[in-house]
Structure 1
Amino acid sequence: MQFSVRITEYQKNTMLNICDADLLGKKIIQDELTMNISEGYYGERFVERDEAEDLLKNSSIINMVGKETISLSIDLGIGSENGVKIISGIPFLIVFKM
């Protein structure tokens, strides 16, 4: 499984935007809510599971989209299933590490 990632620095914190690679470029719509999983936000490069794990462990702010991405983060103890939101069947989660 590949993941699509973009890494930026935000107020001296590492911010990771990560999604399941097959979601990149998709638009998710539910009622009045639209979520674009854009290359500009999530698409800097593709990584394999091992590198995705390292990035998830070492980032302070994480924006995640997709079943595989969120499953991996929860397996690593990053985030909680209680925080996961679903839009048209696609899970997303935002984590701020203190």
Structure 2
Amino acid sequence: MLLTERDTPEGTLVSVCDADVLGETFESGEVTLDVTEEFYGGEAAEEAGEESVVASLKGATTANLVGEECVGVAVDAGIIDPDRVLDVGGTVHAQLVWL
């Protein structure tokens, strides 16, 4: 999994994707999901295991996740409600906002 943390004026933004979906575009009806190198990869991204992903998500203000593995990790950890996971053209996507 590729993990990126960014400090923003609104708090910490975390992006996580499975390595095999980086650079892919998924479509479902009017919804298009671009898993761009700029947002999910790049120099700031690091390979991360389950523990690192869970710890990062727990410290995030907002997060975006794409791919079966990383979304599954977040669901298994009780961070993402499985009923709120979106199926977008052959992959899964979840967003997280802590209020």
Provide TM-score, normalisation by structure 1.
0.86
Residue 47 (str. 1) matches residue 47 (str. 2): yes
In structure 1, what is the Cα distance between the partners aligned to 2:52 and 2:38? 20
In structure 1, what is the Cα distance between the partners aligned to 2:25 and 2:10? 30
**Contiguous gaps of at least 5 residues in structure 2:** none
C-alpha contact 1:21 1:46 (8 A) present in aligned 2: no
Post-superposition shift, 1:83? 0.9
Q: Alpha-carbon deviations, 1:36-57, whole Å to 9, x = none?
A: 1001010132322132222122
Taking every aligned residue pair, what percent have the same amino acid on both sides? 24
Residue identity in the other structure for 1:74: V
Post-superposition shift, 1:12? 3.8
Post-superposition shift, 1:25? 0.5
Give the alignment's Cα RMSD to 1 decimal.
Answer: 1.4
Match of 2:89 in 1: 88
Deviates more, 1:24-33 or 1:55-64: 24-33
> Which of structure 1's runs of 4+ aligned residues deviate more than 4 A?
none
Post-superposition shift, 1:60? 1.5
**Contiguous gaps of at least 5 residues in structure 1:** none
In structure 1, what is the Cα distance between the partners aligned to 2:10 and 2:85? 26
